[in-house]
Structure 1
Amino acid sequence: MDSPDLPRVHTIHVAPGRRLPTKSVVSVEAEAGAGLVGDRYHGSKHRHVTVQALDDLMAAAEALGRPVDPGLTRRNITLTEGPVPTRPGERLTIGDVELEVVRIAAPCRLLDDDLGPGAMQALKSPRGGAVFRLLSSGTITVGDEAVAG
């Protein structure tokens, strides 16, 4: 049964290669131990999925003085609200897919290029989200519930 109080998937973005723009998708296949099919990190050892929250992006936008487009942050999944788990080992279930925190997602220098000067600083922890490994496979779709724990 859906709960109106739980965070949900707001957007999903994948990038086919390093430095290539992300593209918005409605759903994506998550492959346990490998990552999101079609994303640049698919097949990497631990960096399978990056997750951020829309309310953190709004706080970053306030600090920057301009909107922050979720697709330009280079994160894969944006939830409607946080907090996003950030301690290694913490779990998050999105739809039927189980994820485990690897580390905090540090913002990269590309943010200042894509979002303008100051973006990298505005998206520093805890606003930048977290990097997760996939513990199970399945489909992640916009609107799916996200449950921490």
Structure 2
Amino acid sequence: MRGSIVSIHIAATEGGELQPLDSADLVAGCGIRGDRHFAADGSHSDSAVTLIEEEQVELFNELTGLSLAPHDARRQIVTRGVALNDLVGARFRIGDVELEGVELCEPCSYLANHLTREFSITDVSPSEIVRGLAHRAGIRARILNDGSVRVGDRITV
């Protein structure tokens, strides 16, 4: 299975504006350098990076009539050409970084409410957004070794 990175985004603060990156430093046990979750304790602390498939956001848009960009789901790495759900429990590589899929990154009410406020969505409820993104909102992955990833890097299993 092969895919590639379409985009990389980080946020410095909770709910803060997403900053697009051409490349990012991934640090084992810590996350993406510069992101608000870097070296965070607490929930999902062993899942240092989030990924989402561009194709799943496109399908969500078709089903709901919305026009969200893939990074609007607030996942750090957007991919194309790889079935991310299949990577839960598996090891994979992005460039020279090895990762392990930990769990699905299911949508939550925080994300749904953020999207409805941010984009003034009135024709789709937050609960419909959660249902529409269920099992489509990407995965959390553990970073197994330090390294850099770039937009365009191949994903290999």
Q: Structure 2-normalised TM-score? A: 0.83
Structure 1 distance, partners of 2:142, 2:101, is: 7
- Deviation track 1:17-75 (CA, whole Å, cap 9, x = no partner) reads 21212211111100111110011211033121001111111111111112221221010
Pick from 141, 149, 154 the counterpart of residue 145 of structure 1: 154
Q: Does the CA-based 8 Å contact 1:72-1:114 persist in structure 2?
A: yes
Pick from 36, 39, 42 the counterpart of residue 40 of structure 1: 36
The one-letter amino acid paired with 2:141 is F
Q: Superposition pairs for residues 18-97 of structure 1, below 5 Å?
A: 18-44=14-40, 45-86=45-86, 88-97=88-97
Structure 2 distance, partners of 1:34, 1:93, is: 17
Q: Percent identity?
A: 28
- Whether 2:132 is the aligned partner of 1:122: answer yes
Shift of 1:107: 0.8
Structure 1, unpaired ranges of 5+: none
Equivalent pairs counted in the alignment come to: 143
- Whether 2:122 is the aligned partner of 1:113: answer no
Structure 2, unpaired ranges of 5+: none
Q: Does the CA-based 8 Å contact 2:2-2:82 persist in structure 1?
A: no
3-state DSSP class of the match of 1:107? coil
Q: Does the CA-based 8 Å contact 1:112-1:120 persist in structure 2?
A: no
Q: Does the CA-based 8 Å contact 1:12-1:78 persist in structure 2?
A: yes
In terms of mean alpha carbon deviation, does 59-68 or 104-113 score higher? 104-113
The one-letter amino acid paired with 2:144 is L
Question: Which structure has more helix as a fraction of its residues?
Answer: 2
Look at both structures and tell me which one has the larger radius of gyration over its CA atoms: 2
Structure 2 distance, partners of 1:85, 1:39, is: 23
Q: Structure 1-normalised TM-score? A: 0.87
Structure 2 distance, partners of 1:129, 1:86, is: 10
Structure 1 distance, partners of 2:144, 2:85, is: 15
